[in-house]
């Protein structure tokens, strides 16, 4: 599709082209007509001159011949009289023949055709009876003049045209002829003097039959040729005396303009033809030149127009781009979130974008015009005091043409409120000259608030708002600096809530969070003004108490700690729950126990564990022995890891017996650490393994090994033996228990119903939905579940119903004194009864005597485990034990 500017150029170009072509055509046409007219005039002029000359020549010759005919005495016209008249007639003939060069000679011929007298040399006995003029004139008495065809003269062999007049007697009888041969060469010379161009032609013809007398230039074989269908001759034949005609000559196929004219009343006409190519040669050259120049001009014009069009297109494109750029700029200017204001060299308002007016609260832009902008928006400081004009960086930028980069300050809004901004000021340039200032600013109020928030969160605990460990360390440095200067002591208290996990797990995290917030508030209320309470995470707090010496040393500190412990003991009311808690506190002193934050915190932490061990809700001051113990624990931990990797753990198996018949139904797998010759009991490393998380890989190994061993027994003894494995609460929390169990079963090939997992009540109490889910998935696997140490925790009956538990293992603390303690008996009876109703199996742990075994059997307990039947045995020992039992003998 042609674009509009291109179309305009095309139309313009075509109009110009047509106009130029029309003008050239007109000029060339005019020139053509002019040339043709000129040629006609030339031809006419030539013909007129030639006709005049020819007519004069013929007329003169005719007059001479007629005079000769009249003067010639008739008697002289006989052969007989010739001698008599020869001399006189010779003189008479000689005179005119001498004066007229066109005449070859004059001759007198008698009625028999004998040439009697001649002005020139005469052939002897010449007779012209056969000549056309003699025949015509002798036979046609009415003829008074006759011209012959062009003939070659018999004497001088030149071309001649015989002109003859008759001599008649007074009675009209034919007596002879006076004749003059006209020299064609004479006429030829006449024609030769005329220049009609390279292809010009002059013809001299008879008007009756068109026979050619003379042609210039001569063309051999054409003389005496008649004409047929020649348009010029047709016009002569039609009686035209003279005229002009243009046609192609049949003889040479050249187009000419011919002017023709009859020669007086003689039977001749003369024609001058100028070839079109000759008279138009210049016109053709002009035409060619004009066409070439025109074409070149047109090409040049087209090129120029093309360039013009391109340049116009470029201009339009550039102008479009400029407009688009302008629009983009305007759009950007209007939509940018940053405020932009312009002012002149005196700081007077010039322009602003919508964001600037919005941020500054000026709805009406017209009201801003010519106002002093620095004074209007930058007249106040952040605290509300006036900003002296000398301190206004914007005014300085305006006055001194300076640039301001990223200055943070406040601007005054239209309603007088302050707006926190970051602004830049740049000189406003026009043609390289500074004509004012552009101010760019953005609202940084929100950013500032966020930065403050981030800064706060970086140093505070998000939940309680208390300083965090980073700020605690910072405060510690400040306080120890002060303590150094005043030779004071500083106490660092590591406080851990007692039983917080139970509250969190049983009542939910919302209540737990509220509890922590309440504890934080209470701690702050219990502390002195210059004390610092921080939250380290979870239920751990760190308290920094300076000025210990001033408060009476450790005794004073003990009083303060006592107040804190007492204060925390007071119930909290949270979400309709009245909750009680307590705290265990470890204390480390600066500079007594260390000079740096980390050392003191570790020591306070260690001391806190001792407070926990001491029964909780109390505090312990750090002493070096604690450190030694802590070191031992650390060493044990790394030792344990190495042992796990080295495969130093073994399983012992304690039989579980059916009380009814003493038959071994299963075994409990109990892990031991074979540390060289020393066999370490689980009570010494399981707590550490649980606290360090190492119980997870250890538990996996126990499961795999127990399953493997159970399969081996199955193969050795043909009867199924259930293996019970203890599962720690940590394994529930951190390990992928279902996966581990499924893998152990799959790897060993043990049927799931021969694996029993022993879970403590505490595990079930602390875990909630997650535990239920895991248990139901384990139950789906087909493994059995037993609750270990039953009776020591707080299992609710609802729990037992919901869980797919198969067995309750009654804790050995109830069994040990069963025979003597009635309470224990009642408890055990109640457990057995409850289990029966819930269709759960019962197993009594720690059965050490036959008496107790019998009592339990009577109470309805189904199974028992204890030293009475067997201590935990190695695999080999158990193998022997089982064989012995099968054989009916005690091992
Ligand atoms: N998570 C895991 N815990 C395990 C694993 N192996 C053991 N344990 C736990 O360690 C606790 C101590 O076990 P252990 O020292 O082996 O003591 C067991 C028995 O030897 C002991 N017992 C058995 N009968 C009697 C008895 O008649 N008198 C008496 N004084 N003690 C006896 O009781 C322990 C078995 O108790 P329980 O597990 O509750 O059935 C132990 O509590 C295990 O939980 C392990 O692989 N993973």
pLDDT, tens digit (0-9, with 9 covering 90-100), for 504-560: 877 888 999 999 999 999 999 999 999 999 999 999 999 999 999 988 888 889 999
Q: Choose one of 653, 668, 682 to mutate for the ligand 1 pocket test, by most ligand atoms within 8 angstroms of C-beta.
A: 682
Cα-Cα-Cα-Cα dihedral sign, residues 22, 28, 29, 34 = positive
| Ligand 1 pocket member 846 (CB < 6 A) | yes
Q: Which residues contact 850 (CB under 8 A, 6 or more apart)?
A: 868
Domains and CATH numbers, the chain: 72-186 (3.30.450.20), 333-449 (3.30.450.20), 461-629 (3.30.70.270), 645-888 (3.20.20.450)
Residue 269 pLDDT greater than 90, yes or no: yes
| Ligand 1 pocket member 726 (CB < 6 A) | yes
Residue 283 pLDDT greater than 90, yes or no: no
Q: Which residues contact 754 (CB under 8 A, 6 or more apart)?
A: 710, 714, 720, 721, 722, 723
| CA-based nearest residue to 411, from 336, 332, 357, 344 | 357
**Listed range (101-105, 152-156, 593-597, 753-757) with the worst mean pLDDT:** 152-156
The per-residue pLDDT for 517 is 96
Neighbours of 764 (CB within 10 A): 24
Ligand 1 centroid vs 737 CA: distance in angstroms? 21
Quickly state the pLDDT bin for 440 (edges 50, 70, 90). very high
Closest C-alpha to ligand 1, atom 36: 845
The per-residue pLDDT for 297 is 76
Looking at ligand 1, which atom is closest to the CA of residue 811? 39
Q: What is the pTM of this model?
A: 0.42
Ligand 1 centroid vs 702 CA: distance in angstroms? 14
- Find out whether the peptide bond into 422 is cis, omega within 30 degrees of 0: no
Quickly state the pLDDT bin for 766 (edges 50, 70, 90). low
Ligand 1 centroid vs 811 CA: distance in angstroms? 11
| Ligand 1 pocket member 654 (CB < 6 A) | yes
| Ligand 1 pocket member 723 (CB < 6 A) | no
Ligand 1 centroid vs 724 CA: distance in angstroms? 11
Ligand 1 centroid vs 654 CA: distance in angstroms? 9
The per-residue pLDDT for 284 is 85
Quickly state the pLDDT bin for 264 (edges 50, 70, 90). very high
Ligand 1 centroid vs 669 CA: distance in angstroms? 9
Percent pLDDT > 90 in the chain is 58
Can you tell me the ipTM of this complex? 0.94
| Ligand 1 pocket member 728 (CB < 6 A) | yes
CA–CA separation, 598 and 557 (whole Å): 21
| Ligand 1 pocket member 735 (CB < 6 A) | no
Q: Which residues contact 380 (CB under 8 A, 6 or more apart)?
A: 386, 387, 410, 412, 418
The model's pLDDT over 378-428, given as tens digits with 9 standing for 90+, comes to 999 989 899 999 999 999 999 998 899 999 999 999 999 999 999 999 999
Q: Which residues pair with 650 in a beta bridge?
A: 672
| Ligand 1 pocket member 788 (CB < 6 A) | yes
| Ligand 1 pocket member 531 (CB < 6 A) | no
The per-residue pLDDT for 891 is 46
| Ligand 1 pocket member 863 (CB < 6 A) | no
The per-residue pLDDT for 720 is 86
Residue 564 pLDDT greater than 70, yes or no: yes
3-state DSSP call for residue 340? strand
| Ligand 1 pocket member 682 (CB < 6 A) | yes
The model's pLDDT over 292-340, given as tens digits with 9 standing for 90+, comes to 887 787 788 778 777 777 887 788 888 888 888 888 888 888 888 899 9
Ligand 1 centroid vs 757 CA: distance in angstroms? 14
Ligand 1 centroid vs 753 CA: distance in angstroms? 22
């Amino acid at each position: 599709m042609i674009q509009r500017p291109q179309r305009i150029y095309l139309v313009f170009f075509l109009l110009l082209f047509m106009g130029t072509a029309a003008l050239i055509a007109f000029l060339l046409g005019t020139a053509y007509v002019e040339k043709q007219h000129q040629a006609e005039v030339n031809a006419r002029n030539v013909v007129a001159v030639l006709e005049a000359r020819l007519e004069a020549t013929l007329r003169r010759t005719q007059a001479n011949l007629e005079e000769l005919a009249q003067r010639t005495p008739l008697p002289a016209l006989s052969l007989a009289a010739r001698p008599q008249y020869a001399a006189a007639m010779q003189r008479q003939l000689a005179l005119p023949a001498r004066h007229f060069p066109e005449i070859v000679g004059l001759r007198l011929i008698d009625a028999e055709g004998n040439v009697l007298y001649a002005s020139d040399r005469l052939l002897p006995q010449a007779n012209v009876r056969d000549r056309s003029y003699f025949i015509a004139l002798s036979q046609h008495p009415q003829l008074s003049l006759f011209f012959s065809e062009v003939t070659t003269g018999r004497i001088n062999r030149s071309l001649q045209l015989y002109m003859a007049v008759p001599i008649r007697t007074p009675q009209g009888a034919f007596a002879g002829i006076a004749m003059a041969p006209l020299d064609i060469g004479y006429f030829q010379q006449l024609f030769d003097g005329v220049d009609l161009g390279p292809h010009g032609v002059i013809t001299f013809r008879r008007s009756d039959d068109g026979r050619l007398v003379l042609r210039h230039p001569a063309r051999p074989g054409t003389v005496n040729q008649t004409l047929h269908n020649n348009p010029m001759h047709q016009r002569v034949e039609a009686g035209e005396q003279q005229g002009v005609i243009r046609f192609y000559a049949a003889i040479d196929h050249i187009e000419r303009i011919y002017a023709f004219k009859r020669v007086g009343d003689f039977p001749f006409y003369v024609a001058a033809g100028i070839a079109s190519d000759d008279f138009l040669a210049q016109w053709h050259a002009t035409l060619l030149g004009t066409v070439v120049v025109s074409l070149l001009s047109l090409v040049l014009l087209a090129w120029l127009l093309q360039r013009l069009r391109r340049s116009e297109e470029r201009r339009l494109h550039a102008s479009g781009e400029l407009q688009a750029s302008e629009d983009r700029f305007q759009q950007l200017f209007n939509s940018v979130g940053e405020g932009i204001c312009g002012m002149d060299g005196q700081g007077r308002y010039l322009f602003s974008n919508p964001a600037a007016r919005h941020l500054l609260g000026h709805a009406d832009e017209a009201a801003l015009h010519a106002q002093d902008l620095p004074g209007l928006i930058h007249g106040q400081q952040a605290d509300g005091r006036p900003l002296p004009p000398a301190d206004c960086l914007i005014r300085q930028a305006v006055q001194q043409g300076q640039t301001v980069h990223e200055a943070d300050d406040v601007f005054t809004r239209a309603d007088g409120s302050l707006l926190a901004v970051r602004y830049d000021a740049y000189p406003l340039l026009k043609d390289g000259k500074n004509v004012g200032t552009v101010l760019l600013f953005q609202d940084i109020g929100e950013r500032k608030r966020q930065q403050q928030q981030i800064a706060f969160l970086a140093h505070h605990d998000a939940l309680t708002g208390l300083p965090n460990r980073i700020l605690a360390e910072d405060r510690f440095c400040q306080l120890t600096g002060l303590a150094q200067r005043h030779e004071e002591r500083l106490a660092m208290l590591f406080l851990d809530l007692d039983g917080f996990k139970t509250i969190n797990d049983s009542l939910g995290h919302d209540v737990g969070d509220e509890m922590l917030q309440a504890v934080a508030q209470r701690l702050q209320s219990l502390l002195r003004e210059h004390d610092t309470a921080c939250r380290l995470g979870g239920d751990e707090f760190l308290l920094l108490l300076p000025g210990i010496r001033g408060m009476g040393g450790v005794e004073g500190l003990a009083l303060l700690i006592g107040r804190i412990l007492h204060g925390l003991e007071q119930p909290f009311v949270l979400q309709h729950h009245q909750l009680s808690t307590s705290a265990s506190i470890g204390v480390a002193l600066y500079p007594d126990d260390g000079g740096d934050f980390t050392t003191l915190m570790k020591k306070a932490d260690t001391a806190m564990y001792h407070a926990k061990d001491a029964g909780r809700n109390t505090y312990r001051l750090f002493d070096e022995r604690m450190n030694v113990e802590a070191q031992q624990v650390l060493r044990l931990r790394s030792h344990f890891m190495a042992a796990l990797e080295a495969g130093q753990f073994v399983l012992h198996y304690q039989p579980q017996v059916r009380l009814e018949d003493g038959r071994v139904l299963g075994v409990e797998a109990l892990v031991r650490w074979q540390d060289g010759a020393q066999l370490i009991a689980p009570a010494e490393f399981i707590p550490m393994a649980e606290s360090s998380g190492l119980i997870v890989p250890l538990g996996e190994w126990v499961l795999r090994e127990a399953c493997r061993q159970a399969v081996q027994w199955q193969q050795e003894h043909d009867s199924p033996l259930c293996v019970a494995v203890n599962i720690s609460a940590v394994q529930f929390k951190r390990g992928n228990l279902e996966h581990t169990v499924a893998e152990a079963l799959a790897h060993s090939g043990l049927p799931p119903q021969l694996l029993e997992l022993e879970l403590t009540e505490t595990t079930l109490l602390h875990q909630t939905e997650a535990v239920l889910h895991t248990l139901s998935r384990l139950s789906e696997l087909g493994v059995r579940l037993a609750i270990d140490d039953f009776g020591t925790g707080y299992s609710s009956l609802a729990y037992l119903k919901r869980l797919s538990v198969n067995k309750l293992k009654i804790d050995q603390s109830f069994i040990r004194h069963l025979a003597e303690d009635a309470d224990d008996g009642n408890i055990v009876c109640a457990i057995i009864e409850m289990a029966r109703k819930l269709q759960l199996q019962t197993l009594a742990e720690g059965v050490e005597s036959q008496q107790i075994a019998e009592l339990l059997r009577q109470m309805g307990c189904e199974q028992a485990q204890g030293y009475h039947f067997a201590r935990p045995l190695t695999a080999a020992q158990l193998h022997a034990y089982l064989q012995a039992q099968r054989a009916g003998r005690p091992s």
